[in-house]
């Protein structure tokens, strides 16, 4: 069966430096995939390549077998690829509800709703991510965790088939992470494929069936979390000996 998303030798350079360097992997429909790697490993760059924000310098990206390399971001979005930004980018002058409704108004090509239906959809997505009570607040009144929730909500509202989440849990405390995890699970259960870029190991172990480790733009490992996180190269490149010991112990 053709995978939903298929990356072959994806390469992106800045100046002479390859931020993403020949990355190859594929994602099956309904999967929930973790992507980890140290700072500057190329995670965000990879996401920008998939969503069309960057043009590839090499390789190809296929969506259900059809190349989407070189498509403008809005076209990728219309195919059903939703994403968030590591540094959140809300529509500042709008309320929380309006932000999400705009996502619903546009997004994936399947049944773009009229205005009223978009606002209804916004309400149900806000319910899903736990922002229902704050729907009518301006974005400026939101806390950092809530802004991340809003970022996810707007992406979910676009009816994605594949959702790319860039460190939506960074900077959250343990309780907030549990909430966010619940939110990701809830979205995944609606049938959406999820790619989860994270630093927080607990998140990856807790929710992902499969994890990819990036380092210096290359794929270092790809497999089940418990296997990958015991991989010697991964431990050396990223996790550190202390973490490995703790993992073995607990």
Ligand X SMILES: Nc1ncnc2c1ncn2[C@@H]1O[C@H](COP(=O)(O)OP(=O)(O)OP(=O)(O)O)[C@@H](O)[C@H]1O
The per-residue DSSP string of 173-215 comes to -HHHHHHHHHHHHHHHHTT-EEEEE-S-HHHHHHH-SEEEEEE
Tell me the closest approach of the beta carbon of residue 12 to Mg ion, in angstroms.
13
Tell me the closest approach of the beta carbon of residue 125 to Mg ion, in angstroms.
24
Stretch that binds another protein, among 92-100, 121-129, 187-195, 207-215 (CB under 8 A): 92-100
Residue 155, Cβ density class (10 Å: 0-12 exposed, 13-18 middle, ≥19 buried): buried
And the tokens for 10?
């994806």
Q: How far is 229 from 221, CA to CA, in rounded Å?
A: 9
Given 7, 32, 44, 212, the residue binding ligand X (CB under 6 A): 44
Q: How far is 186 from 17, CA to CA, in rounded Å?
A: 38
Using alpha carbons only, give the angle 158, 46, 161 rounded to the nearest 5 degrees: 25
34 binds ligand X (CB under 6 A): no
86 binds Mg ion (CB under 5 A): yes
Q: How far is 226 from 54, CA to CA, in rounded Å?
A: 32
74 binds another protein (CB under 8 A): yes
| Binding track over 120-159 against another protein, x by CB under 8 A | ----------------------------------xx--x-
Given 32, 41, 49, 118, the residue binding ligand X (CB under 6 A): 41
22 binds ligand X (CB under 6 A): no
103 binds ligand X (CB under 6 A): no
108 binds ligand X (CB under 6 A): no
Tell me the closest approach of the beta carbon of residue 47 to ligand X, in angstroms.
8
Alpha-carbon separation of residue 250 from 198, 239, 243, 247 (angstroms): 21, 15, 10, 5
Q: Which is nearer to another protein, 160 or 225 (CB)?
A: 160
Size of the site for ligand X (CB under 6 A): 11
14 binds ligand X (CB under 6 A): yes
Tell me the closest approach of the beta carbon of residue 105 to ligand X, in angstroms.
29
- Interface with ligand X in residues 81-100 (CB under 6 A): 86
Alpha-carbon separation of residue 56 from 35, 50, 52, 95, 191 (angstroms): 19, 9, 9, 35, 29
Given 7, 19, 194, 203, the residue binding ligand X (CB under 6 A): 19
40 binds ligand X (CB under 6 A): yes
Q: Are the beta carbons of 160 and 121 closer than 8 angstroms?
A: no
Could you tell me the sign of the dihedral formed by the alpha carbons of 66, 194, 247, 87, in that order?
positive
Q: Which is nearer to ligand X, 43 or 210 (CB)?
A: 43
Which residues are at the interface with ligand X (CB under 6 A)? 14, 19, 37, 39-45, 86
């Amino acid at each position: 069966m053709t995978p939903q998303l298929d990356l072959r030798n994806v390469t992106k350079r800045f100046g002479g430096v390859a931020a993403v360097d020949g990355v190859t992997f594929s994602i099956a429909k309904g999967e929930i995939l973790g992507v980890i790697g140290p700072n500057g490993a190329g995670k965000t760059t990879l996401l920008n390549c998939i969503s069309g924000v960057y043009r590839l310098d090499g390789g190809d990206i296929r969506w259900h077998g059809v190349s989407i390399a070189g498509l403008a971001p809005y076209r990728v979005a219309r195919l059903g690829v939703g994403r968030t930004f590591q540094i959140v980018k809300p529509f500042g002058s709008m309320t929380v509800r309006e932000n999400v409704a705009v996502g619903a108004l546009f997004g994936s090509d399947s049944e773009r709703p009229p205005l009223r239906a978009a606002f209804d959809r916004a309400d149900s997505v806000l319910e899903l991510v736990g922002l229902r009570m704050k729907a009518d607040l301006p974005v400026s009144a939101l806390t950092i965790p809530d802004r991340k929730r809003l970022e996810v909500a707007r992406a979910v509202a676009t009816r994605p088939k594949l959702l790319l989440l860039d460190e939506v849990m960074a900077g959250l405390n343990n309780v907030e992470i549990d909430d966010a995890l619940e939110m990701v699970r809830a979205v995944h259960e609606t049938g959406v494929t999820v790619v989860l870029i994270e630093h927080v190991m607990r998140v990856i172990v807790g929710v992902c069936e499969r994890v990819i480790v990036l380092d210096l733009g290359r794929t270092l490992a790809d497999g089940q979390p418990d296997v990958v996180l015991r991989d010697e190269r991964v431990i050396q490149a990223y996790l550190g000996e202390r973490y490995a010991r703790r993992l073995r112990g607990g």
